[in-house]
A and B are shown apart, each in its own frame.
Chain A
């Protein structure tokens, strides 16, 4: 998948793309093979944005400074919009539940399964 096709989705996030988001995206590509071509890349990017977004925010660890938090929020919102546009309902719901799980664990100071594992499972919700 060329980056050009994802260019619109990377508006304001190009620095993040070169700073680790692209590697995270490639990890998720293996989890989206069961989707239609063209959708796979969007869903892999959605998952990567959500993982990177929660990491930027400092969810479950030390709170990010305000400007970094806002960038994390944008990643979550962009990922959510990509899911709304391209994912089956079951996947959208599974992603939301995954974020609910990690954020409620963070609020309770409890350990949660790794975000990546939860999101990879969510991508399998459509099978």
Chain B
């Protein structure tokens, strides 16, 4: 399911707006192959119709509507003395309501093989009956999104890996094919739909480069953290040795930055380069802070802003930049990404304590990775001293199990969950002031699902 809003501004009392091309754009943007587009007027004086876009015929329709429901024909709706709670700005528009009931408030159109199914002379109209005003039509697309935006990214990732030398591409392919949430590329694609130069293929190229860069940083992280598995498979360092891991990470770090540079948008190149620098700097802080494990909230926030939020923020900004979105939209999305990335990392920390996540419990504890639930548990008046004592010593299975128990016995996880949810709501508020061309529900849904998860 994909939702959007089509807005328009009328300039006269009765006006026909041809929405056909905008609906086709929505279909292309969503990747819908076979299914339906549902349109619904959000107004009682705007109708929907399918007919021929021929100017004289449109005048005929207008004449017909005037004949069937003339202006000022003594409509009871216009007798304000007989109505209750009439607003001061209530228009005299009984005729417009009556005309609307002759049309329809909703339409369903078919989509086959990615094309809107219309006869040769058919166009889709929103009909203004009481203008001039600002109007909105709600749109939903459902059906088979087989060649979805996600599929475009997967195809682009596969294409890029295909041309690389086997010693570097094979380990990266294993990592990429093992899955991952693909949130960063999804953010690139969504935000790339918010500018006048929306090009799904170009967005997919940028999205794939961002995902390769993210994976390159993970390969080095896994060596630093001595992780043996990621996404259920052996890490590159564990399977092929640290030398290979360093080389593969460097190769894709370079390749991703080249792919971004070759897109020829200096602002995008700068946004991604700044994020990469922030990631690397925060990794140094992360490791340094492990000496005072579990650390404090302020240090934790500083680290995750660099380690996680910076690339979320850059993904959102660069998608919008590549599509030439306005500076206001780019700024709002950059802030949205930073808040969402911070919330995402907090939610990720909680997974370490969730038996239903499918991941080994207590992995972050064993690796002494900064974790907000641990910081809060260590501050707890009752269990804090024991948590700190355990974390200061050797962390075997029994110690990790006990720390997990203690964290679950406090309100640490509840606090972190609330904090992450509050950050998501703050992120959503960043979007309120900008025009998002109907993508607000999708972005908001993605943001909320990023923190309401078990794995």
Contacts and interface: CB of A to CB of B under 8 A. Distances in A.
A99 B276 CA distance: 16
Contact of A69 (B224, B264, B272, B281): B224
Contact of B253 (A67, A99, A108): A99
B168 interface: yes
A81 B244 CA distance: 25
Contacts of A83: 273
Interface stretch (B5-13, B59-67, B122-130, B255-263): B255-263
Contact of A76 (B243, B247, B253, B266): B253
B59 to A, nearest CB: 54
B270 A62 contact: no
Contact of B244 (A54, A64, A107): A107
B273 A85 contact: yes
A96 B255 contact: yes
A63 B284 contact: no
B284 to A, nearest CB: 5
A81 B274 CA distance: 6
B165 A108 contact: yes
A77 B224 contact: no
Q: Which of B248, B272, B277 is most buried by chain A, counting CB atoms within 10 A of its CB?
A: B277
Contact of B277 (A54, A78, A92, A108): A78
Nearest to A74: B280
B266 A100 contact: no
A73 B168 contact: no
A80 interface: yes
Contact of B284 (A12, A76, A92): A12
Given A69-B224, A84-B270, A96-B257, A77 B280 contact: yes
Given A70-B280, A76-B253, A107 B247 contact: yes
A23 B436 CA distance: 51
A59 B269 CA distance: 25
A92 B248 CA distance: 20
A63 B223 contact: yes
Given A58-B246, A84-B269, A66 B254 contact: no
B273 A80 contact: yes
A62 B273 contact: no
A26 interface: no
Given A66-B223, A84-B270, A103 B287 contact: no
Interface in A79-101: 80-81, 83-85, 89, 92-93, 95-100
A107 B251 contact: yes
B220 interface: yes
B385 interface: no
B246 A93 contact: no
A73 B167 contact: no
B188 interface: no
Q: Which of A66, A76, A104 is most buried by chain B, counting CB atoms within 10 A of its CB?
A: A104
Contacts, number: 128
A54 B283 CA distance: 17
Contacts of A57: 246, 250
A63 B245 CA distance: 9
B279 interface: yes
Interface in A7-63: 12, 54, 57-63
B276 A80 contact: yes
A71 interface: yes
B247 A100 contact: no
A74 B284 contact: yes
B258 to A, nearest CB: 3
Contacts of B255: 96, 100
Contacts of B245: 63
Q: Which of B165, B167, B243, B283 is most buried by chain A, counting CB atoms within 10 A of its CB?
A: B243
A106 interface: yes
Nearest to A50: B254
B327 interface: no
A82 to B, nearest CB: 8
B271 to A, nearest CB: 9
Contacts of B242: 63
A36 B140 CA distance: 54
Interface of A: 12, 54, 57-64, 66-67, 69-71, 73-74, 76-78, 80-81, 83-85, 89, 92-93, 95-100, 102-104, 106-108
6 contacts: A57-B250, A59-B247, A76-B250, A80-B273, A84-B261, A103-B250
Given A81-B274, A92-B269, A106-B246, 16 more contacts: A57-B246, A57-B250, A74-B277, A80-B273, A80-B276, A81-B270, A81-B277, A83-B273, A89-B261, A92-B257, A96-B258, A98-B254, A99-B250, A104-B165, A107-B168, A107-B247
Interface of B: 164-165, 167-168, 220, 223-224, 241-248, 250-251, 253-255, 257-258, 261-262, 264, 266, 269-270, 272-274, 276-277, 279-281, 283-284, 287
